[in-house]
Amino acid sequence: MPTNREEHFSGKEVGDCLLEYLLGYGGSSAVFLAQSLSSGEKVAVKIFLPRSTMDTEAQKNFYRRFLREAEAASQLDCHTSLCPTCLVEPCQTMSRTMAPCR
């Protein structure tokens, strides 16, 4: 069941994307179906959203894992079940990855 934290992003613009709805979430991130405002393409956007109950060190570890996962995913474009990662955008307020939806 999504928390209010994830639901709050639906309908919001994040970078070049309009988030449509939550596709899924885990311990430190949520994935949304979105539309690129520049290309009109449907994309999946994964946003780093650490739990507020995590201590600072745990948040740092999850953030490093989030970036490593995005880097590893960007190296893979060889299977129809995988979405290629086309953007990894860390910033002070939010970090996200974006991939085209097939």
Q: What is the CATH number of the domain that holds 74?
A: 3.30.200.20
User: Across the chain, what does the average pLDDT equal?
Assistant: 75
By percentage, how much of the chain surpasses pLDDT 70? Answer: 68
Instruction: Report how many domains make up the chain.
Output: 1
On whether the pTM is more than 0.85, the answer is no
Query: Which of 32-36, 49-53, 62-66, 94-98 is predicted with the least confidence, judged by mean pLDDT?
Result: 94-98
Provide the domain limits for residue 9.
4-100
CB atoms near residue 101 (< 10 Å):
12
Buried b or exposed e, range 44-58, using 16+ CB within 10 angstroms: bbbbbbbeeeeeeee
